[in-house]
């Protein structure tokens, strides 16, 4: 299995939806653009959001196991995927990239 690099590319905030529908939350998302995590195969990286992991983990597993060209030509780099978490108020977009480094 290969390690997969996960980079936080963009964090969007829909304040109009938050004001209308969301109960106030402290520290709802503490990720930062440019932040990098390394997934050791199927294992969730330390300090990675549990909810975001639910969204990205199937793609991480595919890339870690050598899968590529997800959705037939979707990505320019066949060993990558752009996946967003499922937070409807502040979705985070992640770039997943298979590395050439084997897990321990």
Domain residue ranges of the chain, discontinuous segments joined by + = 2-102
pLDDT of residue 101: 79
Cβ neighbours of 95 (radius 10 Å): 17
**Scanning the structure block, which residue is given the tokens 């985070």?**
92
Return the DSSP state at 33: T
Tens-digit pLDDT profile for residues 58-80 = 999 999 999 999 989 889 999 99
pLDDT of residue 29: 82
pLDDT of residue 100: 87
Tens-digit pLDDT profile for residues 31-56 = 999 999 999 988 899 999 999 999 99
Buried b (16+ CB within 10 A) or exposed e, 4-38: bbbebeebeeeeeebeeeeeeeeeebebeeebebe
Given a cut of 80, whether residue 1 has pLDDT beyond it is yes
């Amino acid at each position: 299995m290969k390690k997969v690099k996960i980079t936080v590319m963009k964090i969007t905030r829909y304040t109009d939806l938050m004001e209308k529908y969301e109960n106030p939350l402290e520290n709802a998302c503490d990720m930062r653009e440019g932040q990098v995590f390394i997934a050791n195969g199927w294992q969730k990286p330390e300090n990675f959001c549990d909810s975001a992991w639910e969204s990205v983990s199937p793609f991480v597993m595919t890339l870690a196991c050598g899968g590529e060209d997800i959705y037939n030509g979707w990505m320019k780099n066949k060993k990558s995927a752009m996946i967003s978490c499922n937070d409807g108020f502040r979705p985070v977009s992640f770039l997943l990239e298979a590395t050439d480094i084997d897990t321990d």
